[in-house]
Chain A
Amino acid sequence: MTASSRVIVLHLGLLALLFGLQFILPAYHHGNLARIMVLASYAVGYNILFGYTGLLSLGHALFFAAGMYGMGLTIQHMGFTPAPALIVGIVAGAFVAGALALLALRTVGVSFMIVTLMFAQAGYLTVLYFGEYTRGDEGFVIQQAQRVLWGVDLSNATNRYFAAWGLFSVSFGLSLWLVRSSFGRTLIAIRENEERVRMLGYDTYKHKLTAMIISGTISAAAGAFYGLLFGYAGASFASVQYSIFPLLWVLLGGAGTVLGPFVGTLFMFYLIDLSSGITSAYLLIAGLALVLLTLFAPQGLIGEIRRRFWKNLP
């Protein structure tokens, strides 16, 4: 088997495994995994900008929330059905990402982090300001009757799992394809040495702009699905916490790896889940595990595997 087909088999294998797991998992973990797959899709989107292009954004909650509210508000106030509402959410995310990219890409490094953070905070405050429609922190529930997509009730656990798996498969597959394409390889080169890429004749600004729009669009799709599948949209999803989460997941799993975002999200979710079963000071255990991981696997779990065993893992 060639190196390239081994990579494909490994990644498709994960999707097959996730597809199969739903038939054997107990209800509790079944529900968890659906949630993890949606959040991992968010991390996949984040990873394209952070892991592959080398741009550290602290404002991705803006895109996640744009997707969630683009979907939720149109259902709640305009009577949209789920399919067009999802599209509105995703398009809203792409639009917001493009607009923010035009402004934020004028900066680099720490300034880029601050600009993205500030705009995301402005987005969060906007959600609160229009509390009449968004119901602010309290949020609003999307009723079961409003969550029927093409005759499929997404509040049903099995359907929800399928939808989450579908979203994850698309974003994961897109990410794998992207980073192996010549566009994606140029992004990696920009991460490594932007000035050199420019002097090879590439318009690095356009590449970064496109990367940010793709990243924001996937994040928005995750936000839109999250709201629809779990029936709730609230301002906490627009808060800074939800900008930090994908960064953490990607760092834990391995920035700049296709598998990393999923592994990191899974790891973090169960780390908190299991440690909170042991003690109420679960953040202490979670924190300790994170410190250890940072010390012994600074490139993240999959990053470490790549470093030691599988050099060509994308």
Chain B
Amino acid sequence: MMILSTRGLSKSFDGLQAVTKVDFDLPKGEVRALIGPNGAGKTTLVGMICGRIEPTSGHVQFDGEDITRLPAHARIMRGMAYTFQITSVFARLPVTENVALAARRRLSGDAIDRAVADALARVGLSNEAHEDAGNLSYGHQRLLEIAMGLAQSPRLLILDEPTQGLSEGEIADFKTLVRELAGDTTILLIEHNMDVVMETADRVSVLNFGEILAEGTPTEIRENAAVQAAYLGTG
């Protein structure tokens, strides 16, 4: 059962073809990494999936329904969550309020406080709960982004380069967290850190010049000649 499918999904910006006719299928419960060189169209592709970017052509299906015409907030309400590549927290609001905003969309009353405490504990930010988000270090703001995603309790969690700027220890904790979530939550992970990809992903999709170049298990992808060429150049 596919939780997410795209068919012929394309986007061009003023003649620049960023994503070309992508057919992408993500089964329920899988952790899928989306990798590719800079400028390959990864963020554009997930932008179209979660509704931030309008596709030039093609369709997106979520849980069996065509959501191509739905605005972003309606897609989120159906069970998607998106954490931003460029940290986008509410800098002048307390950490708890940042997470509560995410939780309040589906919960009310005391359940909100519990969900907030739980999400912060899972990313290891419980001690920073009452700080303003803007006072956190960059790495902690990344973790706060993830906590906001968790508090939404999504069916599909899209993480856009979550480990960028995290310390080694934080990356190890992040890998544990993803493994804990795996099974209940389908995860689409855009990631540059190959260790993270190899250790957490069930399968990997490689995007190059806006097209899916290869798809397979982490081991298959590591040994794929075309992927190596795309990353290292064919020179």
The answer to whether A189 touches B72 (Cβ under 8 A) is no
Does any Cβ of A come within 8 Å of B97's Cβ?
yes
Inter-chain contact A201/B152, CB cutoff 8 Å: yes
User: Is there an interface contact between B104 and A182, defined as CB atoms closer than 8 Å?
Assistant: yes
Is B93 touching A188 in the complex (CB atoms < 8 A)? yes
The CA of A49 and the CA of B105, in the complex, are separated in Å by 22
Considering the chains assembled together, what is the distance between the CA atoms of A245 and B90 in angstroms?
A: 30
Q: Does A202 contact B (CB under 8 A)?
A: yes
Residues in B whose Cβ lies below 8 Å from that of A203? 71, 73-74
CA of A188 to CA of B91, assembled, Å: 12
* Interface members, chain A 190-209 (any B CB < 8 Å): 192-193, 195-204
CA distance A154 to B74 in the complex (A): 50
B93 adjacent to A199 (CB under 8 Å)? no
Which size class do B's interface residues fall under? 20 to 34
- Tell me, rounded to whole Å, the shortest Cβ–Cβ distance linking B234 to chain A: 38
Cβ-defined contact, B90 with A200, below 8 A: no
The answer to whether A202 touches B90, judged by C-beta atoms less than 8 angstroms apart, is no
B80 nearest in chain A by CB position? A201
**A6 contacts partner chain B, Cβ-Cβ < 8 Å:** no
Cross-chain contact A201 with B88 (CB below 8 angstroms): no
Number of A interface residues, CB 8 Å?
17
B52 within 8 A of A: yes
Alpha-carbon gap, A192 to B98, bound state (A): 11
Q: Which of B53-94 contact A (CB under 8 A)?
A: 71-74, 76-77, 82, 84, 88-93
Question: Taking chain A's interface residues, is the majority helix, strand, or loop, or is none over half, making it mixed?
Answer: helix
| Inter-subunit contact A201/B77 (CB<8 Å) | yes
Given A182-B104, A202-B73, A202-B105, check contact A196 B84 (CB 8 Å): yes
Write the nearest CB–CB distance from B89 to chain A, whole angstroms.
7
C-alpha gap A185/B92 in the complex (Å): 13
Q: Hey, which chain A residues are within 8 Å of B104, CB to CB?
A: 182, 185-186
Would you call B166 an interface residue if the criterion is a C-beta within 8 Å of the partner chain's C-beta atoms? no
Q: Nearest CB to that of B105 among chain A residues? A: A201
Known: A199-B50, A199-B84, A202-B105. Contact between A192 and B76, CB under 8 A?
no
Sample of 4 more A-B contacts, CB < 8 Å, known A196-B90, A200-B101: A192-B93, A198-B73, A202-B105, A203-B73
Interface residues of B (CB under 8 A from A): 50, 52, 71-74, 76-77, 82, 84, 88-93, 97, 100-102, 104-105, 108, 148, 152
Chain A positions near chain B (C-beta within 8 angstroms): 182, 185-186, 188-189, 192-193, 195-204
Q: Sample 15 A-B pairs with CB under 8 A, ordered by A number.
A: A186-B104, A188-B93, A193-B90, A195-B88, A196-B84, A196-B88, A196-B89, A196-B90, A199-B50, A199-B72, A199-B76, A200-B102, A200-B105, A201-B105, A203-B71
